[in-house]
């Protein structure tokens, strides 16, 4: 962990999956610069954006029984029940679901919402409609994980490709043991994560809220379950 106020606390590390893209962006900028110098500066701006996109900042994940944390940075887009994707193996009835939309300026490294064991991982080909739309959860390319916690609860997380996303990368396999807030994958570029909760669990976030991956508590598997109310001002 970098000391507060140090350069490391200001500049986030870059995930290794991003370096090939950063190199390509910079190479294209150099080539364009030979054609017309102002194009180099435009390419350099695009390269800096690519560096920003692939940042992978450290996060402090709260640890307590039953906590469910956000799998990604972004805006809570929906908290209504949904039928989970069939490949998750969580049944055909609607379950509490929290959908979080990532724009192209959010951190796109995704983390597990709960510690536990990966019971299943599945990839599904699909479309690339705007990930902020609810239909993206059903129609878009996606990758799903079903995770079992220490007390036997099962939570699903679905990485969903967006309008410009064309690759979903998984960092963990079936059977992997996950620590709280552990990195499980990355989506390029602009996308969504859906978290499917056990039937009795109520989300503790509301549409329109900002979430921080690995830090924001979005639900409690244990304890009283009351609907969360809020207001926008």
Q: Is residue 207 part of a domain?
A: yes
pLDDT digits (tens, 9 = 90+) for 215-230: 999 999 987 777 777 7
Alpha carbons 39 and 55: distance in angstroms, whole number: 25
Q: What is the mean pLDDT of residues 118-146?
A: 77
29 & 91 share domain: no
30 & 102 share domain: no
99 & 213 share domain: yes
72 & 176 share domain: yes
- CATH number for 210: 2.70.70.10
pLDDT at 60: 95
144 & 193 share domain: yes
Q: Is residue 76 part of a domain?
A: yes
Q: Is 191 a catalytic residue?
A: yes
pLDDT at 136: 59
pLDDT at 9 over 50: no
pLDDT at 191 over 70: yes
Q: Which domain does 15 fall in, by range?
A: 7-53
Choice between 11 and 124, residue whose per-residue pLDDT is larger: 124
Q: Is residue 1 part of a domain?
A: no
183 & 107 share domain: yes
Choice between 138 and 84, residue whose per-residue pLDDT is larger: 84
pLDDT at 4: 40
pLDDT at 165 over 70: no
Q: Which of these ranges, 32-46, 68-82, 132-146, has the smallest mean pLDDT?
A: 132-146
Name the pTM for this structure. 0.86
CB 110 within 8 A of CB 101: no
Q: Which of these ranges, 70-84, 98-112, 163-177, has the smallest mean pLDDT?
A: 163-177
Which is catalytic among the residues 137, 144, 153, 191?
A: 191
Q: What is the DSSP string of the chain?
A: -PPTTSHHHHSPPBPGGGHHHHHHHHHHHHHHHHH-HHHHHHHHHHHHHHHHHTB---------TTEEE-SSSEEEEE-S-BPPPGGG-S-SS-B-EEEEEE-TTS--EEE-SS-EEEEEEEEE--B---TTSTTHHHHB-EEEEEEE-TTS-EEEEEEEE-SS--EEEE---TT-EE-TT-EEEEEESSEEEEEE--TT--BS--TT-EE-TTTSEEEESSS----------
pLDDT at 5 over 50: no
């Amino acid at each position: 962990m970098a000391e507060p106020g140090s350069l490391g606390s200001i500049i986030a590390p870059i995930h290794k999956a991003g370096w090939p893209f950063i190199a390509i962006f910079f190479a294209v900028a150099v080539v364009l610069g030979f054609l017309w110098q102002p194009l180099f500066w435009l390419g350099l701006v695009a390269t800096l954006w690519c560096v920003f996109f692939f940042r992978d900042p450290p996060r402090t994940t709260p640890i307590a029984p039953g906590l469910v944390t956000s799998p990604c940075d972004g805006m809570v887009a929906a908290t209504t029940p949904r039928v989970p994707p069939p490949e998750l193996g969580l049944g055909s009835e609607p379950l509490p679901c929290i959908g979080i939309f990532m724009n192209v300026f959010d951190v796109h490294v995704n983390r597990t919402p709960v510690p536990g064991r990966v019971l299943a991982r599945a990839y599904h080909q699909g479309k690339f409609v705007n990930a902020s739309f609810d239909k993206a959860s059903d129609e878009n390319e996606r990758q799903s994980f079903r995770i079992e916690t220490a007390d036997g609860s099962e939570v699903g997380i679905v990485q969903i490709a967006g309008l410009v996303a064309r690759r979903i990368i998984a960092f963990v396999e079936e059977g992997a043991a996950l620590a709280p807030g552990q990195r499980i994958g990355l989506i390029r570029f602009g996308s969504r994560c859906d978290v499917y909760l056990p039937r009795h669990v109520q989300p503790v976030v509301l549409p329109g809220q900002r979430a921080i991956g690995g830090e924001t508590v979005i639900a409690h598997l244990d304890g009283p379950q009351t609907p969360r109310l809020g207001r926008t001002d």
